[in-house]
Amino acid sequence: MRASMEIRKCICMRDCYDRCYFYAYVEGNKLIKVEGSRKHPITRGFLCSKGYSLPKLVHHKDRLLRPLLKDNKSWKEISLKKSLEILADVLREAKPHRSFFLSYAGNMGLVESLSLKALFDMLGFYIVVPNLCSTSGNNVLIKIFGTYNGKDIEDIVNRKLIIVWGMNPSWTNVHGMFLINEAIKRGAKLYVIDPNVTATARKAHRHLRIKPGSDVFLALGMAKYIIEEELYDKQFVKDKFIGYEEFFRFLSRLPWSFIERVTGISFEGIAKTAYDYATLKPNWIHIGYGFQRRVGGGEAVKAIAYLPVLIGDPSAFYYDFSPEVDLEIALNVKNSPRISFSKFIELLDEGADLVFIMSMNPLYTAPDSKGLKRSLEKNAEYIVVYDCFMTETASIADLVIPSTMFIEVEDVALSYFHRYIGISEKALDPPKEVIDAFSLAKRLGEMLGVNYPWKSRRAFILDILRALNVNYDNIKSKWYVKITHVQEANTARYIPLKKTYQNIPLGNREKDEFYLLVLS
């Protein structure tokens, strides 16, 4: 290593399960290379290809380096100062009940994702919560268990059977796959439930290629078999599963012929999988977001969640992780209305004074992105995009403000997969006319005369850590600490499936086809 090279301890803030810890090698404000931390219990010395490509991304020739103002359908470069003046003027004019703030997970650093949202909350804007990935599943798990946290993911290596359901961790959660491989080396079996032959399915000891959208009924079929064969933990169910009698009655009405036809899996296939699940213990269900992004996704998570309850190990699953502190409430920035993405689309039809978009590219990722584009162009008076690149969404904006990348700021990292919280160091100075979210919020607050409560980025970090009960000096010196006080699922309540899934048709072929339609 050259003497002029410096090493910074950083954390990948992409929207990804793994939240990798890595060393950034920097020379003269240039990121030379990145290297995964060997010590970190999850990162284990390697990154994915996106992680390794970070030097290319940060110094990419197409990166936005100056604000852009739409001028007669073409772009004009303006100074950062000028762009903030324009935005402040627009904000002064915008009526809060006709103005929207949209952000998602482009940069999951807690300061970057919360500081601007805090300002727009103070301004009374609608805050759009566009979470397609896990919200409905989280909501049902909270109803069943009072939490959506299963066991610590690091425990997966001790399991005898791992069922990966609707997920392809070989591609999307490479460090999760590493842990699964470790479990396999110790003798665990891997079963995959997925309509597609994924890279993970190819490694599995068994692959159930169910029909798309039939996850609810495969889970119910497994539960039915476990109950009929009396393989469930009777004492646990009696003591800790409130309303189990109703669940059992419901399953007794569910015909095997229907389950087989809907899922495309034979009785023998379901029975074998259910038998192994009930007898190879301890085990684990790794629930993905795949089936959750469609009609009935939350119901599928619900049906799957009853399986670990039946075998007396209710937290033996992973779906999502959170220390369960609502940071927006803790920071007192959850006062303006929160609306779903579909409600935003509805309200947009009535016209909008301002739509501010950051950390997402909805014209590429949202359902019906063409319709969204038409509606934004027709109904939004002014669109501001805060991003590092000229995305599809930025291209229809009136003003684009260039954002920093996560490696250019100090920030706090939480994972929705593992339980480590860390501080990511600032490795590079951002380009001169590029601004981080905290500075943007603070400067706009000053220009608008809003009493933005945080005087410095560090003050914001300290407030976040206080809410999470973590000491800054401790975490800074160690890079990361593990969150140990986590409420995990331990008792369960039966929440009936939604009506459309309740009225199981008995021998009526036409009705069966209707349910297939509901599911697809």
* Contact region with ligand SF4 (CB under 6 A), list: 45-53, 58-66, 235-243, 403-411: 45-53
Site for ligand SF4 (CB under 6 A): which residue of 10, 24, 31, 48?
48
Question: Distance between CA atoms of 78 and 92, rounded to whole angstroms?
Answer: 20
What is the DSSP annotation of 207-238?
Answer: EE-PPTT-HHHHHHHHHHHHHHTT-S-HHHHH
Residue reference for tokens 């994972």: 415
State the nearest-atom distance from the C-beta of 493 to ligand SF4, in Å. Answer: 34
CA dihedral 501, 504, 507, 513 (to 10 degrees): -10
Tell me how far the alpha carbon of residue 249 is from its chain's centroid.
35
Question: Distance between CA atoms of 129 and 62, rounded to whole angstroms?
Answer: 29
Question: Distance between CA atoms of 211 and 276, rounded to whole angstroms?
Answer: 21
Site for ligand SF4 in 17-36 (CB under 6 A): 18-20
Q: Would you count residue 108 as binding ligand SF4 (CB under 6 A)?
A: no
Site for ligand SF4 (CB under 6 A): which residue of 10, 16, 201, 428?
16
Site for ligand SF4 (CB under 6 A): which residue of 47, 219, 227, 440?
47
Contacts 24+ apart (CB under 8 A), 36-42: 37/9, 37/479, 40/420, 40/479, 40/480, 41/154, 41/418, 41/420, 42/18, 42/153, 42/154, 42/175, 42/179, 42/415, 42/417, 42/418, 42/420
* Contact region with ligand SF4 (CB under 6 A), list: 46-54, 75-83, 244-252, 434-442: 46-54
Residue reference for tokens 């009930």: 278
Question: Distance between CA atoms of 398 and 396, rounded to whole angstroms?
Answer: 7
Report the amino acid identity of residue 408. Answer: E
State the nearest-atom distance from the C-beta of 122 to ligand SF4, in Å. Answer: 31
Our CB check for ligand SF4 shows the closer of 178 and 472 to be 178
Our CB check for ligand SF4 shows the closer of 35 and 324 to be 35
State the nearest-atom distance from the C-beta of 461 to ligand SF4, in Å. Answer: 20
Question: Distance between CA atoms of 158 and 355, rounded to whole angstroms?
Answer: 48
Our CB check for ligand SF4 shows the closer of 14 and 160 to be 14
Which residue has its beta carbon closest to ligand SF4?
A: 51
State the nearest-atom distance from the C-beta of 214 to ligand SF4, in Å. Answer: 30
Our CB check for ligand SF4 shows the closer of 263 and 415 to be 415
Instruction: Tell me, by CB under 6 A, how many residues bind ligand SF4.
Output: 11
How is residue 199 written in tokens? 């890279």
State the nearest-atom distance from the C-beta of 286 to ligand SF4, in Å. Answer: 16
Site for ligand SF4 (CB under 6 A): which residue of 12, 31, 118, 468?
12
Contact track, ligand SF4, 124-163, x by CB under 6 A: ----------------------------------------
Question: Distance between CA atoms of 250 and 252, rounded to whole angstroms?
Answer: 5
Question: Distance between CA atoms of 383 and 397, rounded to whole angstroms?
Answer: 5
Site for ligand SF4 in 49-68 (CB under 6 A): 50-51
State the nearest-atom distance from the C-beta of 50 to ligand SF4, in Å. Answer: 4
Our CB check for ligand SF4 shows the closer of 19 and 98 to be 19
Q: Would you count residue 14 as binding ligand SF4 (CB under 6 A)?
A: yes
How is residue 333 written in tokens? 């920035």
Strand, coil or helix: 492: strand
Q: Would you count residue 307 as binding ligand SF4 (CB under 6 A)?
A: no
* Contact region with ligand SF4 (CB under 6 A), list: 8-16, 150-158, 402-410, 488-496: 8-16
Burial class (CB in 10 A: 0-12, 13-18, 19+), 14: middle
Report the amino acid identity of residue 326. Answer: D
Buried b (16+ CB within 10 A) or exposed e, 124-149: ebbbbebebbbbbbbebbebbbebbb
What is the DSSP annotation of 293-338?
Answer: GSTTHHHHHHHHHHHHHHTT-TT-EES-------HHHHTT---SPE
* Contact region with ligand SF4 (CB under 6 A), list: 47-55, 233-241, 272-280, 471-479: 47-55
Q: Would you count residue 177 as binding ligand SF4 (CB under 6 A)?
A: no
* Contact region with ligand SF4 (CB under 6 A), list: 13-21, 62-70, 106-114, 337-345: 13-21
Our CB check for ligand SF4 shows the closer of 51 and 67 to be 51
Is 409 within 8 Å of 436 (Cβ atoms)? yes
Our CB check for ligand SF4 shows the closer of 12 and 141 to be 12
Our CB check for ligand SF4 shows the closer of 51 and 297 to be 51
State the nearest-atom distance from the C-beta of 47 to ligand SF4, in Å. Answer: 4
* Contact region with ligand SF4 (CB under 6 A), list: 15-23, 66-74, 367-375, 430-438: 15-23
State the nearest-atom distance from the C-beta of 169 to ligand SF4, in Å. Answer: 11
Site for ligand SF4 in 334-393 (CB under 6 A): none
Strand, coil or helix: 198: coil
Residues at the contact surface with ligand SF4, assessed by CB under 6 A: 12, 14, 16, 18-20, 47-48, 50-51, 174
